[in-house]
């Protein structure tokens, strides 16, 4: 082991002997695997270490200003956990389906269910009835926690509990806690959550994550918090990302474990978000790339006091270097960080820590604690070194257990040595920074060349009259596929197809981008279809372009 450590490049983390990249961050010890502890219990242990005053607001409803202190949060979690066992009859290993917009009750419900070993399965409240049916058939829940607005989507006879009802409120506030005894039978290897993959590249899958997966990611943040000590001003995080998605789900657990104040929005809108930042003196926001683009370009942002905002953490999809630079130029007091993760990696894999890393625009930071990576040539299977492009493989305690009820998909994604094949074309540079180029399946095959749509999208987003963009492969008899651009103009813009093509060609020459990386077709639409995490739904655009149904977008 010592010999292996000596062969690791201290700058890139690459070991030429094993052809593996290692995390450059200090090793973070995790609880012994045999120790029974839930993700909820571990989060509360970090909260105690943070020494956050019990009177501090834990969660605030952005619309109403209603808040719950940390003292109330702890009490309600214990009370609800007791009620879930005694009134609903839930026990370790049961599954709870959750279909509700963000509200104060949801983080409390998450923590309560985790504490008694009940598997959480949250879904998008805007899901269609067939999507809900598919998700519930995967997880076979014992109960569904729904809102009045979503209750009608649960039709299979499953017991329903309304989170916005008096019954649920009494379950949280009855005061009965069973003596505060946690279910010590919860094992770290038990399944904690089944989160649904976006379904943008295939049929929806249920990703099975363990308590230890969440503990492993939380532990890294706990170490950083311990090193830095108390922060001033007190961290206030505004959640613009959905709590059912792995990004929002994990950031919710992380925020409570770190003793931060979480401000929740039931429905996202840009003006509402800006008002919340101003009203609650928000210091930090986890966001997706479209929001960063909007803040960097739209004039409405100037009407609000954003002086409290210190940090924007971007994840869910790649963010281009040009957008990062434009954002920083407009908001020099706001640090913008990026990270990379998947549902299959518990939302974590790489991230930026501190000002010295945030200047690496275009990257997603360095590998997280206790994480290893390989860059593998998709054609030969050979592991590659720094600066070389290939499929990113990841290994470590953050990697999922598998896809529930789908052994074939699990075997295709996880190999026998524990490596997760991400399907992302990436490279790690000589300083250990990870760069995401494109999904392998989304590369445009133009003649004999490969064109990553994200590269062209980043060029397009640097245009002052383009509010948003997407690039897809369009079938072509001669070339096989050609890059086609979908453009959303800024209000008042009269930008035309020729101007867009000319702009991309000129920018490509400036940046020494290969001449074949050009737009061959352009169309203008009102908005780009995206998943809740901000990923472009290219499949919808391809279908609309090929079948001539662009007017429906």
The answer to whether 188 touches 204, Cβ cutoff 8 Å, is no
| Measured distance CA(124)–CA(127) in Å, rounded | 5
| Measured distance CA(335)–CA(353) in Å, rounded | 11
Token duo for residue 394: 């990841």
| Measured distance CA(304)–CA(61) in Å, rounded | 20
| Measured distance CA(382)–CA(254) in Å, rounded | 36
Dihedral angle over CA of 291, 292, 298, 302, nearest 10: 110
pLDDT at 511: 61
Q: Where are the beta strands (DSSP E) in 415-495?
A: 420-428, 434-439, 444-446, 449-451, 466-476, 480-489
| Measured distance CA(179)–CA(167) in Å, rounded | 22
What predicted TM-score, i.e. pTM, was given to this entire model?
0.85
pLDDT at 199: 38
Stated as kind and residue range, the H or E segment containing 339 is strand 335-340
Three-state SS for 182-245 is CCCCCCCCCEEEEEECCCCCCCCCEEEEEHHHHHHHHHHHHHHHHHHCCCCCCCEEEECCCCCC
Closest CA to 101 of 129, 71, 74, 123: 123
Beta pairing partners, 338: 314
Token duo for residue 350: 């790489």
| Measured distance CA(203)–CA(319) in Å, rounded | 26
Q: Could you tell me the fold of the domain covering 443-552?
A: GMP Synthetase; Chain A, domain 3 (3.30.300)
The phi, psi pair for 170, rounded to 5°, reads -70, -30
- The answer, yes or no, to whether the previous bond of 233 is cis (omega within 30 of 0) is yes
Please give the chain's pLDDT, 553 residues, in tens: 444 466 899 999 999 999 999 999 999 999 999 999 999 999 999 999 988 999 999 999 999 999 999 999 999 999 999 999 999 999 999 999 999 999 999 999 999 999 999 999 999 898 888 889 889 999 999 999 999 999 999 987 899 999 999 999 999 987 676 655 455 589 999 999 999 875 334 577 899 999 999 999 999 988 877 677 667 789 999 998 889 989 889 999 999 999 999 999 988 888 999 999 999 999 999 888 878 888 988 889 999 999 999 999 988 676 777 788 889 999 999 999 999 999 999 999 999 988 889 888 889 999 999 999 999 999 899 999 999 999 999 999 999 999 999 999 999 999 999 999 999 999 999 999 999 987 888 878 787 677 888 888 888 988 989 999 999 888 887 777 889 999 999 999 999 999 999 998 888 777 655 667 788 899 999 999 987 767 788 888 988 888 876 666 6
pLDDT at 1: 43
């Amino acid at each position: 082991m010592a010999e292996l450590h000596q062969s690791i490049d201290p700058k890139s983390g690459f070991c030429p002997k094993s052809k593996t990249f290692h995390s450059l961050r200090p090793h973070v010890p995790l609880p012994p695997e045999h120790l029974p502890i839930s993700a909820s219990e571990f989060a509360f242990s970090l909260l105690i270490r943070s020494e956050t005053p019990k009177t501090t607001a834990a969660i605030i409803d952005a619309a109403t200003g209603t808040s719950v202190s940390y003292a109330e949060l702890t009490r309600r979690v214990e009370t609800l956990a007791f009620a879930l066992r005694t009134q609903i009859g839930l026990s370790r290993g049961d599954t709870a389906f959750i279909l509700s917009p963000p509200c104060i009750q949801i983080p409390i419900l998450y923590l309560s269910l985790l504490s008694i070993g009940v598997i959480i399965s949250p879904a998008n409240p805007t899901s269609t009835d067939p999507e809900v049916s598919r998700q519930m058939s995967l997880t076979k829940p014992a109960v569904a926690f729904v809102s009045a607005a979503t209750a009608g989507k649960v039709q299979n006879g499953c017991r329903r509990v309304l989170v916005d009802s008096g019954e649920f409120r009494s379950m949280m506030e009855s005061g009965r806690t069973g003596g505060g005894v946690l279910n010590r039978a919860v094992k770290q290897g038990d399944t904690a959550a089944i989160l649904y993959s976006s379904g943008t590249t295939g049929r929806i899958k249920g990703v099975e994550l363990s308590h230890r997966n969440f503990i492993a990611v939380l532990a890294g943040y706990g170490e950083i918090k311990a090193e830095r000590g108390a922060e001033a001003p007190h961290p206030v995080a505004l959640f613009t990302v959905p709590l059912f998605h792995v990004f929002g789900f994990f950031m919710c657990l992380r925020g409570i474990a770190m003793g931060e104040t979480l401000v929740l929005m039931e429905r996202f809108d840009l003006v509402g978000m800006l008002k919340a930042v101003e009203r609650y003196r928000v210091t930090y926001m986890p966001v997706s790339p479209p929001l960063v683009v909007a803040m960097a370009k739209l004039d409405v942002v100037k009407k609000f006091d954003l002086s409290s905002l210190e940090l924007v953490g971007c994840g869910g999809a790649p963010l281009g270097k040009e957008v990062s630079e434009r954002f920083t130029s407009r908001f020099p007091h706001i640090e913008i960080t990026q990270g990379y993760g998947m549902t299959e990696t518990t939302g974590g894999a790489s991230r930026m820590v501190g000002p010295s890393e945030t200047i690496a625009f275009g990257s997603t930071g360095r590998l997280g604690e206790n994480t290893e990576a390989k860059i593998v040539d998709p054609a030969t299977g050979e592991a590659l070194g720094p600066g070389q492009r290939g499929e990113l493989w990841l290994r470590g305690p953050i990697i999922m257990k598998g896809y529930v009820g789908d052994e074939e998909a699990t075997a295709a994604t996880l190999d026998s040595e524990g490596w997760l094949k991400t399907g992302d074309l990436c490279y790690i540079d000589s300083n250990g920074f990870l760069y995401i180029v494109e999904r392998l399946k989304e590369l445009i095959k133009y003649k004999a060349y490969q064109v990553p749509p994200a590269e062209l999208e980043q060029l397009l987003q640097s245009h002052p009259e383009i509010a948003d963009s997407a690039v897809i492969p369009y079938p072509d008899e001669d070339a096989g596929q050609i890059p086609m651009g979908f453009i959303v103009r800024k209000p008042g813009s009269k930008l035309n197809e020729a101007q867009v093509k000319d702009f991309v060609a000129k920018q490509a020459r400036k940046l020494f981008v290969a001449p074949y990386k050009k737009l061959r077709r352009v169309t203008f639409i009102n908005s780009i279809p995206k998943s809740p995490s901000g990923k472009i739904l290219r499949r919808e655009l391809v279908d609309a372009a090929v079948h001539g149904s662009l007017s429906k977008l």
